[in-house]
């Protein structure tokens, strides 16, 4: 094989991988949210989870993409490990359906797929445009596989190649290892299995060696997520390692009966193309059937051999938990979900600071305010991590809705960080000073502050809900809280001035108490403004329900002034 042929082969593999990438991104852009909904609705039942994994993998053309989605859910504790393993068993079977289709000569329809895809991509927008991208990807997959096999075709009769591959005919374990390494290098079990089928159909390798190499290819495709996983958390490794172990166990059992199975397949499927594809499918179906009933104890076994490290319990809270960097390129939809989940931790941090204000006012303990201020450092670091993660997403890989979501996440993080800064620089130093000086406000003065803090806890939870689910009614309700806080601040002013007028003996204390009350009321209102702006304004602005300014337009002002003048003139007359 000369240098040009090697370049051609590498180009074919690159085209194959790019085609798979286009199919994945197209489907994820068109149906990303629905795919997540399907997974979330079907993961409670292992059988349903199995078929969900099968269907999604058949659509995405990659078990790796499905595995990436489900690994994140498992590591974050959204679903249990048994259901996640069931999804992966289904994903393994789903991959074989792609091989079944491509084992037929479907290369002639590749240009048709590309043509349909280009028309859809150029003529329509949104979901149809994204589906067009998937059709182009399917066409590229078929073209690359056809080109790959065409390049190798002249070499199937080379004596040196036949001699090399023939030498492993009596060494099935070597055949397994070669296919494993080849699959790991090419990152595609589909291409390797089709290559094996091509060699077997041209008698380059005997059937038993072909089946051994199919087994190796199945192990190789499960090895990629284990070796290339970016997460350091051992919990995130349980699913890929569990999937690899069931492949290895299935392969070990299969190797014991390889000779008998080879005879059976040759007898019923003399066409080696079909025989290799069917063996590939049957291997994964049998493995799934064997493991499905025992996934719960198998998951417990994985947890025992990969326990959560004790040091994780005291891990730095400023470190992100859900920001899986591998999702940025492989699954932008999942990366956005990860960023949303991480953003909810900002709400938890801000609520700790609010509780710090509550408890300092109640207990008059200065240390509580000091500890609450330290949370601002954690919140700032988390905010920086989320913003860096979201801005690392390639805008070209996102649809319009996903771009809007990234903007909402960035706005949310910025405003929550601003709210934290107000608490850290203004509110908490004030309550710390009050606690240190043992200043206790009268109940009448404390009541507006208590009302503000109580409503702010509720508003923070509403903001978190809006980040996950856009709802105009809830957004409007949250935005109306600004008026309530404005009225509460005015109420605090009225209380202060009334008490100051009524006080005749000790106005100095009233001025001192009033200054603390008004300062806290003003800063709590500012904090709430940032909470409202974090989630309510983006939803209302997107729906066209947000006015650009609270000021009355100049034309309306002039008109109202003219009306007032005309009324005055009428009265004078």
* pLDDT tens readout for residues 154-192: 766 667 666 776 677 778 899 999 999 988 887 778 878
What is the share, in percent, of the chain residues with pLDDT greater than 70? Answer: 85
pLDDT given for residue 408 in this prediction: 93
Q: Give me the DSSP letters along 16-69.
A: HHHHHHHHHHHHHHHHHHHHHHHHHHHTTSHHHHHHHHHHHHHHHT-HHHHHHH
The sign one gets for the Cα dihedral 328, 333, 334, 338 is: positive
Cβ pair 517, 502 in contact under 8 A: no
pLDDT given for residue 77 in this prediction: 60
pLDDT given for residue 1 in this prediction: 60
Rounded mean pLDDT, 529-558: 76
325 vs 433, higher pLDDT: 433
157-171, 238-252, 391-405, range with the lowest pLDDT: 157-171
Structural domains of the chain, ranges and CATH numbers in brackets: 3-158+167-295 (no CATH), 328-548 (1.20.58.220)
Residue 573 reports pLDDT greater than 50 = no
* pLDDT tens readout for residues 125-164: 777 888 888 889 888 888 887 887 788 777 666 676 667 7
pLDDT given for residue 211 in this prediction: 94
Here the tokens at position 113 are: 């797929």
* pLDDT tens readout for residues 221-236: 888 778 765 455 677 7
Residue 40 reports pLDDT greater than 80 = no
Rounded mean pLDDT, 471-499: 92
- Main-chain dihedrals φ then ψ at residue 43, nearest 5 degrees: -85, -5
pLDDT given for residue 84 in this prediction: 86
Continuous segment of H or E residues that includes residue 519: helix 507-542
pLDDT given for residue 566 in this prediction: 56
| Distance (Å, whole) CA 492 – CA 521 | 7
Q: Give me the DSSP letters along 134-198.
A: HHHHHHHHHHHHHHHHHHHGGGGG-HHHHHHHHTTTT-HHHHHHHHHHHHHHHT-HHHHHHHHHH
Continuous segment of H or E residues that includes residue 573: none
pLDDT tier, 552 (very low <50, low <70, confident <90, very high otherwise): low
Rounded mean pLDDT, 204-227: 88
Could you report how far apart the first and last alpha carbons of the chain are, in Å?
108
24-33, 173-182, 318-327, range with the lowest pLDDT: 24-33
Rounded mean pLDDT, 323-351: 86
- Main-chain dihedrals φ then ψ at residue 482, nearest 5 degrees: -60, -40
Here the tokens at position 173 are: 């374990």
Here the tokens at position 398 are: 């996102």
Cβ pair 211, 283 in contact under 8 A: no
Residue 495 reports pLDDT greater than 60 = yes
Average pLDDT over all residues of the chain: 83
| Distance (Å, whole) CA 198 – CA 204 | 9
Residue 324 reports pLDDT greater than 90 = no
pLDDT given for residue 58 in this prediction: 77
Residue 551 reports pLDDT greater than 60 = no
pTM: 0.67
Hey, is 563 helix, strand or coil?
helix
* pLDDT tens readout for residues 270-322: 888 889 999 999 999 999 999 999 999 999 999 888 887 665 444 678 888 88
Nearest in space to 412 (alpha carbons), one of 313, 530, 529, 294: 530
Residue 232 vs residues 64, 160, 518: alpha-carbon distances, Å: 18, 44, 49
**In the Cβ-directed half-sphere of 175, how many Cα atoms lie within 13 Å?**
25
| Distance (Å, whole) CA 90 – CA 84 | 10
Rounded mean pLDDT, 433-450: 91
Residue 460 reports pLDDT greater than 50 = yes
pLDDT given for residue 131 in this prediction: 84
pLDDT given for residue 559 in this prediction: 47
| Distance (Å, whole) CA 311 – CA 502 | 59
149-153, 373-377, 508-512, 564-568, range with the lowest pLDDT: 564-568
- Between the ranges 319-333, 405-419, 492-506, where is the mean pLDDT highest? 405-419
- Between the ranges 34-48, 258-272, 492-506, where is the mean pLDDT highest? 258-272
545 vs 367, higher pLDDT: 367
Task: Mention every residue, 6+ apart, whose C-beta is less than 8 A from residue 87.
Answer: 39, 43, 49, 50, 52, 53, 66, 70
418 vs 75, higher pLDDT: 418
The owner of tokens 């806890």 is: 457
pLDDT given for residue 252 in this prediction: 93
pLDDT given for residue 332 in this prediction: 80
pLDDT given for residue 41 in this prediction: 63
33 vs 230, higher pLDDT: 33
């Amino acid at each position: 094989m000369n240098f040009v042929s090697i370049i051609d082969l590498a180009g074919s593999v690159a085209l194959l991988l790019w085609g798979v990438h286009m199919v994945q991104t197209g489907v994820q852009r068109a149906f990303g949210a629905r795919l997540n909904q399907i997974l979330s609705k079907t993961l409670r039942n292992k059988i349903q989870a199995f078929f969900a994994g099968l269907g999604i993998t058949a659509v995405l053309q990659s078990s790796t993409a499905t595995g990436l989605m489900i690994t994140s859910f498992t590591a974050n504790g959204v679903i249990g490990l048994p259901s996640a393993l069931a999804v992966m068993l289904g994903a393994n079977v789903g991959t074989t359906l792609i091989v079944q289709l491509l084992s037929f000569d479907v290369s002639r329809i590749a240009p048709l797929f590309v043509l349909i895809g280009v028309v859809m991509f150029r003529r329509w927008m949104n979901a149809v445009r994204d589906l067009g991208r998937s059709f182009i990807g399917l066409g590229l997959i078929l073209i690359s596989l056809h080109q790959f096999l065409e390049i190798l075709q002249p070499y199937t009769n080379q004596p040196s190649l036949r001699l090399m591959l023939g030498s492993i005919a009596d060494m099935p374990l070597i055949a397994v290892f070669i296919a494993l390494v080849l699959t790991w290098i090419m990152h595609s079990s589909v291409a390797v299995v089709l290559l094996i089928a091509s060699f077997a159909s041209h008698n380059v390798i005997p059937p038993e060696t072909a089946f051994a190499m199919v087994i190796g290819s199945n192990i190789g495709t499960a090895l990629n997520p284990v070796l290339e996983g970016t997460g350091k958390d051992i919990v995130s490794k349980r699913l890929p390692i569990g999937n690899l172990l069931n492949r290895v166990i299935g392969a070990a059992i299969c190797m014991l009966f390889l000779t008998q199975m080879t005879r059976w397949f040759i007898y019923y499927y003399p066409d080696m193309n079909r025989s290799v594809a069917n063996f590939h499918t049957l291997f994964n179906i049998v493995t799934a059937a064997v493991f499905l009933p025992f996934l719960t104890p198998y998951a417990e076994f994985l947890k025992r051999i990969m326990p959560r490290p004790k040091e994780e319990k005291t891990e730095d809270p400023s470190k992100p938990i859900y920001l899986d960097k591998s999702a940025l390129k492989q699954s932008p939809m999942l990366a956005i979900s990860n960023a949303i989940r991480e953003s909810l931790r900002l709400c938890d941090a801000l609520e700790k600071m609010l509780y710090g204000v509550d408890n300092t006012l109640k207990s008059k303990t200065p240390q509580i305010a000091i500890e609450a201020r330290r949370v601002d450092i954690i919140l700032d670091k988390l905010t920086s991590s989320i913003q860096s993660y979201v801005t690392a997403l390639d805008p070209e890989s996102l649809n319009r809705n996903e771009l809007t979501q990234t903007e909402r996440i960035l706005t949310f993080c910025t405003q929550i960080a601003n709210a934290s800064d107000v608490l850290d620089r203004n509110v908490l130093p004030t309550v710390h000073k009050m606690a240190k000086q043992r200043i206790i406000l009268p109940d009448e003065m404390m009541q507006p502050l208590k009302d503000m803090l109580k409503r702010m806890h509720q508003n923070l939870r509403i903001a978190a809900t809006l980040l996950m689910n856009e709802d105009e009614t809830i957004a409007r309700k949250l935005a109306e809280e600004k008026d309530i806080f404005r009225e509460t601040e005015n109420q605090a002013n009225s209380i202060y001035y009334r008490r100051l007028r009524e006080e005749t003996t000790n106005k100095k204390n009233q001025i001192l108490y009033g200054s603390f009350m008004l300062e806290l009321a003003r800063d709590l209102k500012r904090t709430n403004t940032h909470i409202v702006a974090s989630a309510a304004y983006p939803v209302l602005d997107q729906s066209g329900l947000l006015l650009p300014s609270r000021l009355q337009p100049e034309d309306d002002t002039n008109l109202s002034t003219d009306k007032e003048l005309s009324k005055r003139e009428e009265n004078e007359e």
